[in-house]
Structure 1
């Protein structure tokens, strides 16, 4: 959430920066108008409460003097009625201000590309060279079904579209991928966590999914509970409503979890394969840092995700997202996109974002600086990596003409030494 004081003091700058994210100036004007009304109501209410205190003292004095206090009592009742009406109006206005502010995205970092969508994204670097095939590469879903390691058809029967059964060596490969990722991140200093997979609505609010994106998640009917869309939610809310001791920062967490997404608005997109699923595994990285360290930590996190790709021998590139393509809570995002031979293009496999103090304000996560003053931490999150997409990339990049798939060397210790998945094994 943005600092309301900052919006009041710099309305033109806030309008200009949020305009690059599709927010109309009128939205800020309406928020400021409601905030002004809120502050006026607070002033009126406090003034009347002071008057009530004065009248109460006069009544008490009159009673001590055995004097008639009926006029003062009548006046106090009138003041009390006014205060009640003002406080009710104030509660309504405060709720409106909070809701309007909660729907504003984060301010984009001034250095990122400005644009309406992915067309304005900027490539930072390419890593690895896409393999040149001497045969026509197959899509990962065809490879996997021919090897009988993924079953989309029966998953559709059991659950519906965008679900899958992993079978045999397919299940083993999925498990190998996320165990390898977790081990790598542990070596890089992340604390491994197994988080809850169901969170309350306060947690979804803290990371910015609620209230704006309720249609994108699976909520449990009749309860204040939601299946997590990513482990970012429980990991970022770990310190909600707490002050983190200065000496603990930075905090690094990593977790493998299932992620559940309704994929609202994705009809017709990536209807086959592992790219866009309602349920998938993801290894998440989350950091809590001091503000002055957060952008250096973003580069480290991006490198951590890239390290996984390089050890798996997968070609990828890194791009910085434009203002119009970036997620709601992010101030800057680096996406890693892996090369997919069958599609002849790069596809997203990780997003690493610095949210600055946006989530910390919503979740009330602070630390004390060297002067003892409370400050909001900066939070960062990134995929390290999306496991299903990593599997898809391995199947396509390591496929052989006979339909088999070579196992990347880094994963073989996790696969019992298996070097190749074939129809025979």
Structure 2
């Protein structure tokens, strides 16, 4: 949620952010009006409650003869206090409803515009080239006996799959390499719940414009998470945490679920956009003043992973209209997928400033000693989709795939993945 103090102090900054995102800035004035009504209702409630407290003293000190009339008056005052309390709570709920429509204030320097208005910050690594016609990741996965889409569809429907044999091992190798690197950078590993309560899903901002992508178990009123970011953001909800020694860093390993309702074309072939996948997510609680520097560190750790895997990639600064409600800034890293002749997103890392922590009541003690909202940040360190770029980048003419040196120890020393006989794939 937007900082109400900032909303009152600098509504023009909030309007600029909404305009950059392509949103209707009228919601800012609506929120200001709701805030004024909320504060007025609260002031009236507090005035009447103070009057009630003072009147209570008069009743106690009154004579036996005067008390009946004063008690009747006190009852009327109690009813007025109760009504004022109800109005104050109603006004608070209305402010939260309206202010909740305002998306996080973007960080200075974020490009304005929509999906196509990103800014490329850098391109890293050699563009893969071949002296043969490269196969796409699904064809390679089938040759290696690593990916089985047909049986995935038979068991669960379209865009489900089995990773089998070396495919299953490859995913575990990727995740294990990422976990080891996260541990080296001081992250605490967590295997997170994949079902969360509505208030946690809502608090992270995933029940807004992307609600259609989320699976909901209506009988239990629980949501399947599309990233462990959700559970990790809820981990310290309603808590005051200690950041004196620096940021709290967690690495969440989980299965993730997404409807992917809007994807089509090449996205639906193979395992690029699927309904279920595994992911290791970095999540950080930090002092807000350190958030931008921490954001850069997360990107750096992601780049180290991609470089170790020998992938050609670019880092982009995502435009405001493509950020999602919680992110104040987001950097995507997109790897080159040879058969698509295009970059495809492998990682995102977002600085959500205090937007999520205000909703989830996660605080720390600032320099003044008062409790203040923390900043939250998140970023992918490995996920199933990376197999797409790995197979296509490191393929050889015979359908075999070279294993990057960084992964070999996690695959029992394998340096090359080789096609398997038809009987082994059946």
Aligned partner (choices 272, 292, 296) of residue 295 of structure 1: 292
1:249 maps to which residue? Answer: 246
Q: Is the 8 A contact 1:288 1:380 kept in 2?
A: yes
SS of structure 2 residue aligned to 1:342? helix
| 2:376 aligned with 1:379 | yes
| 2:82 aligned with 1:84 | yes
2:393 maps to which residue? Answer: 397
In 2, Cα distance between equivalents of 1:380 and 1:83: 42
Shift of 1:7: 0.3
2:42 maps to which residue? Answer: 42
Segment of structure 1 superposing worse, 210-219 or 220-229: 210-219
In 2, Cα distance between equivalents of 1:41 and 1:290: 33
1:406 maps to which residue? Answer: 402
Cα-to-partner distance string for 1:67-87 (whole Å, 9 max, x where unaligned): 244543443333333333333
| 2:184 aligned with 1:187 | yes
In 2, Cα distance between equivalents of 1:267 and 1:4: 40
Shift of 1:342: 0.5
Segment of structure 1 superposing worse, 230-239 or 366-375: 366-375
Cα-to-partner distance string for 1:314-349 (whole Å, 9 max, x where unaligned): 100101111111122111111100000000011100
Shift of 1:168: 1.0
2:22 maps to which residue? Answer: 22
In 1, Cα distance between equivalents of 2:266 and 2:325: 21
| 2:350 aligned with 1:349 | no
Segment of structure 1 superposing worse, 168-177 or 364-373: 364-373
1:113 maps to which residue? Answer: 111
Structure 1 residues 10, 220: closer, same or farther in 2, change over 3 A?
A: same
Shift of 1:158: 1.2
Structure 1 residues 250, 50: closer, same or farther in 2, change over 3 A?
A: closer
Shift of 1:413: 1.4
Q: Is the 8 A contact 2:281 2:381 kept in 1?
A: yes
1:53 maps to which residue? Answer: 53
2:194 maps to which residue? Answer: 197
Shift of 1:368: 2.2
Q: Is the 8 A contact 1:246 1:369 kept in 2?
A: no
Cα-to-partner distance string for 1:122-166 (whole Å, 9 max, x where unaligned): 111111111111122222112212333211121112111121111
Q: Is the 8 A contact 1:106 1:355 kept in 2?
A: yes
> 1:24-423 to 2 correspondence within 5 Å?
24-62=24-62, 65-115=63-113, 117-210=114-207, 213-266=210-263, 270-385=267-382, 387-423=383-419
SS of structure 2 residue aligned to 1:33? helix
SS of structure 1 residue aligned to 2:244? helix
SS of structure 2 residue aligned to 1:24? coil
Cα-to-partner distance string for 1:215-246 (whole Å, 9 max, x where unaligned): 32222222242222111122232222222223
* Structure 2: gaps of 5 or more residues: 422-426
The TM-score with structure 2 as length reference comes to: 0.92
SS of structure 2 residue aligned to 1:248? coil
Shift of 1:269: 6.9
Over the aligned positions, Cα root-mean-square deviation in angstroms equals 2.0
In 1, Cα distance between equivalents of 2:378 and 2:160: 25
Shift of 1:313: 0.3
In 1, Cα distance between equivalents of 2:102 and 2:296: 26
Structure 1 residues 53, 410: closer, same or farther in 2, change over 3 A?
A: closer
The TM-score with structure 1 as length reference comes to: 0.93
Stretches (4+) displaced over 6 A: none
In 2, Cα distance between equivalents of 1:267 and 1:96: 39
In 1, Cα distance between equivalents of 2:258 and 2:16: 32
SS of structure 1 residue aligned to 2:339? coil
In 2, Cα distance between equivalents of 1:40 and 1:292: 32
Structure 1 residues 238, 270: closer, same or farther in 2, change over 3 A?
A: same
Q: Is the 8 A contact 2:143 2:420 kept in 1?
A: no
